[in-house]
Chain A
Amino acid sequence: MIALLMRDLKLAFRAGGGFGLGLAFFLIVTVLVPFSVGPQSSLLATISPGVLWLGALLACLLSLDRLLALDWEDGSLDLLATAPLPLEAVVTIKALAHWITTGLPLVLAAPVLGVLLNLPQPGFVWLVVSLALGTPALSVIGTFGAALTVGLKRGGLLLSLLVLPLYVPTLIFGAEVARRGAISMETNTPLLMLAGITAGAVALLPFASAAVLRVNLR
């Protein structure tokens, strides 16, 4: 399992691995926001938690179609499926690798972009906490979507259509934590809900992902 994780990380960091693309996308979206809504700092302060969450979510979505498709194309998935590793473990590791290469950088970059969007002072810590807690769910749910569409030639758009509705609860609670944090409100309830969704998704979705992957491999 560690071998698979190390390989995926290595592949992501090597040339053409796509590491940093999500981060760059996040940056660009954030920069474009003031151009579209205007530069008033009070307005930006109000919308910044939500905009940053949405940007992070879209950046996560961007790299999903490579998550399993590359291994599918070169036959690695067939070989992994016949290897001693259970497919549930394979998809979990894949999701973890996706989080480390996409989700984690977003979490770390979010405060910097928060400065650009005039995020209120108390909001920074909650933005990071909510993203750190929410992005693993985005990766796991995304892996499920990738497993559903892995055999399709033009799966990218369909993948977005399938995954985005599944992202709704995570987005609502995650952005709520960041939003309430920014205006110094109590954040316990949405934070616990967010943690619950992430825990549930991480615990259960790999089984669904592995099941649909098996169907797609046959």
Chain B
Amino acid sequence: MTLEVSDLSITRGGVPVLQGLGFALRPGHALVVRGPNGIGKTTLLRTLAGLQPPLSGRIEGADETIAYAGHSDGIKPTLTVIENLTFWARVFGARSIQPALDAFDLNDLAERHAGNLSAGQKRRLGLSRLLVTGRPIWMLDEPTVSLDVSAVAMFADAVRAHLGQGGSALIATHIDLGLDAEILDVGPFKARPREIEDFDGDFL
């Protein structure tokens, strides 16, 4: 499944942040989104995931193909690790959760309540959710926050395995994951505000 984006403009809080953005994400490839803070990386990922509409432009191949992982992991503290994962597995159509537990080394924590996990362990649980979605395009917003070195390697391995199976990933991150990935620098696509004279009232 190829994700194709052309001439995309996106807004945050009604103000354009990026414009004229275009790229293609082919199966087996990873794309790392770079850019300074506040440029609109999170907004871009949310738009691609379908959480908000783009201002203009086309997004193709994003329907029901994207597994989104944002800043928060959607983990319920009173449920155990297994219960959390099983829930998402059932929402996305009942797959086995064992590969996800293995990939992020969660077997020892399986029966623990998620509320008792450390920040890094929670993050691992949040990322392992991606494996149970069975969706080809991973869309990851700062996935390595609070992960230690070995967990980052674990995560990179999971992404590599995903790419090997014909999946793809769009990752907004500032650290080098050691992946064979193209870099998408969104800095040059920063939206230029319209001239004041044309300021006719869409308020943008």
Nearest CB in chain A: distance from B1 CB, A: 15
Q: Does A218 have its Cβ within 8 Å of any Cβ on chain B?
A: yes
Whether B53 pairs with A3 at a CB distance below 8 angstroms is: no
A79 to B133, CA, bound (A): 11
Whether A218 pairs with B91 at a CB distance below 8 angstroms is: no
Q: Does B68 have its Cβ within 8 Å of any Cβ on chain A?
A: yes
Interface residues of A, dominant DSSP? helix
A84 in contact with B78 given A75-B71, A78-B68, A217-B51 (CB within 8 Å): no
Specify the chain B residue showing the minimal Cβ separation from A218.
Answer: B52
Whether A3 pairs with B91 at a CB distance below 8 angstroms is: yes
Whether B78 pairs with A4 at a CB distance below 8 angstroms is: no
Q: Does B83 have its Cβ within 8 Å of any Cβ on chain A?
A: yes
Count of chain B residues with Cβ under 8 Å from any Cβ of A?
29
Whether B53 pairs with A78 at a CB distance below 8 angstroms is: no
Q: Does B23 have its Cβ within 8 Å of any Cβ on chain A?
A: no
Residues of A within 8 A of B76 (CB): 7, 11, 74, 76
Whether B92 pairs with A83 at a CB distance below 8 angstroms is: yes
Q: List 27 A-B contacts (CB under 8 A).
A: A2-B90, A3-B90, A3-B91, A4-B87, A7-B79, A11-B76, A15-B78, A16-B78, A74-B72, A74-B73, A74-B74, A74-B75, A75-B72, A78-B46, A78-B68, A78-B74, A79-B70, A80-B74, A81-B50, A82-B49, A82-B66, A82-B67, A82-B68, A83-B92, A83-B133, A84-B91, A218-B51
Q: Which of A52-83 contact B (CB under 8 A)?
A: 71, 73-76, 78-83
Residues of A within 8 A of B83 (CB): 7, 10
Count of chain A residues with Cβ under 8 Å from any Cβ of B?
25
Q: Does A200 have its Cβ within 8 Å of any Cβ on chain B?
A: no
Whether B87 pairs with A78 at a CB distance below 8 angstroms is: no
Residues of A within 8 A of B108 (CB): none
Nearest CB in chain B: distance from A8 CB, A: 10
A4 in contact with B50 given A11-B79, A17-B78, A75-B71 (CB within 8 Å): no
Query: Residues on A close to B: CB < 8 A?
Result: 2-4, 7, 10-11, 14-17, 71, 73-76, 78-85, 217-218
Whether A76 pairs with B74 at a CB distance below 8 angstroms is: yes
Q: Report B22-50 CB contacts with A as 1/0, cut-off 8 Å.
A: 00000000000000000000000010011
Whether B71 pairs with A14 at a CB distance below 8 angstroms is: no
Nearest CB in chain A: distance from B111 CB, A: 15
Whether B91 pairs with A83 at a CB distance below 8 angstroms is: yes
Greatest chain A CB density within 10 A among B72, B83, B133 is at: B72
A14 to B86, CA, bound (A): 17
Whether A4 pairs with B91 at a CB distance below 8 angstroms is: yes
A198 to B60, CA, bound (A): 41
Specify the chain B residue showing the minimal Cβ separation from A13.
Answer: B78
Residues of A within 8 A of B176 (CB): none
**Which residue of B72, B88, B92, B93 contacts A78 across the interface (Cβ within 8 Å)?**
B72
Nearest CB in chain A: distance from B91 CB, A: 5
Whether A3 pairs with B73 at a CB distance below 8 angstroms is: no
Known contacts A4-B87, A71-B74, A81-B50; can you find 18 more A-B pairs with CB under 8 A? A2-B90, A3-B87, A10-B79, A11-B78, A16-B78, A74-B74, A74-B76, A75-B70, A75-B71, A75-B73, A79-B88, A82-B51, A83-B133, A84-B64, A84-B92, A84-B93, A85-B91, A218-B51
